[in-house]
Amino acid sequence: MAVGFAESELTCRPESSTRKEPRAFIVVHRNKIVSHPSQKKLEFSADELEGLGKLNLSAEAEEYHHMYLGHDPSGVAYFAIDIGYGYNGDEKFHLHDVRSLMTECTSRVAISRAGLAVAYARWHSRTKFCSRCGTKTMPHKRGTRRICDNGHTQYPRTDPVAIVVVEHPEGHSLLLGRSQKIVNKNMLTCLSGFVDFGETVQQAAAREVKEESGILVDRVEMICSQPWPLGRGGNHEIMIGCYAIATTTDIFMDPEEMDVVRWVHFRDIKRALQEETTEFQIPPGYALANSLLTWWVEKKSFKL
């Protein structure tokens, strides 16, 4: 199953990097990606960083300098640099929101790395003080951690989210919905929610479906997962894709959280995936919901 933000191809070797090895840099400015004039290349060599103009790396930006992201298969070490407010805005370079890159850039690998860079930059900007003693923290282990004066280590936060394709008991439809937070009022997607303390992923999936739709489910299975650097509130999330069979069919939607929840037939989901209908839209290809819906349609097509 092809999953958007799971394709950075970076493996972490935080203790093995040396200054002599080849390096590439992804530059972040106020949670946006700085790109080359072509608007296609999102990575800089050490020499190319000089072309960004005057950087005030002795001020706020230095605190986040060189956040290690990992090594690619060829051995190049990738780093993110948050230049913060030290960038004078050279007009020959461009700034991109990561969400806009999802539609503008054809390389899922490049988008995944850009998302990881922004996620690290956001985490650093929100973890300036120790959660245990309140003292100031500084980057540690080349930006993969933060540590305070008392030696307490802060680790990047990842919030687990269960997202579920719920199949009708008769097998012909899926339960889709739209929360009130979704701006696109023509969008339908899989139901989802955060995993609470003390829950398994399967329990969280069943609970969220019941809370949002009133539907009870059985046989919850985990199918796939996807890192999601653009989570709610700006946090990094791990989306855990699940599949479940409904044991009830009457919908009792939570009107305080959801705009709509309904059963959608196989043929209509297939048409939406192929962009052959204007009745409703589904999430784009970089979203895990799209991968789950594609997986279910292909699974059903094979059986039909």
DSSP 48: G
Distance CA 173, CA 264 (A): 5
Q: Tens of pLDDT along 69-82?
A: 989 888 888 999 88
Phi, psi of 93, deg, nearest 5: -105, 160
Q: Give yes or no for a contact between 98 and 118, defined as CB atoms under 8 angstroms apart.
A: yes
Distance CA 84, CA 247 (A): 51
**Over 50: is that where the pLDDT of 184 sits?**
yes
Domain residue limits, the chain: 4-126, 159-303
Distance CA 191, CA 210 (A): 10
Q: Which residues have CB under 8 Å from 11's CB, separation 6+?
A: 70, 71
- Tell me, yes or no, if the two domains 4-126 and 159-303 fold the same way: yes
Residue 268 burial (CB count, 10 A): 18
Q: What is the pTM of this model?
A: 0.86
Where is pLDDT greater, at 250 or 85?
Answer: 250
**Residue 39 region, left (φ>0) first, then alpha (ψ -120 to 50), else beta?**
left
pLDDT at 30: 83
Distance CA 169, CA 225 (A): 25
Q: Tens of pLDDT along 238-271?
A: 999 999 999 999 999 999 999 999 999 999 999 9
Hey, what CATH class is 159-303 in? alpha beta
Per-residue tokens: 98: 């990561």
CATH of domain 4-126: 3.90.79
**Over 50: is that where the pLDDT of 60 sits?**
no
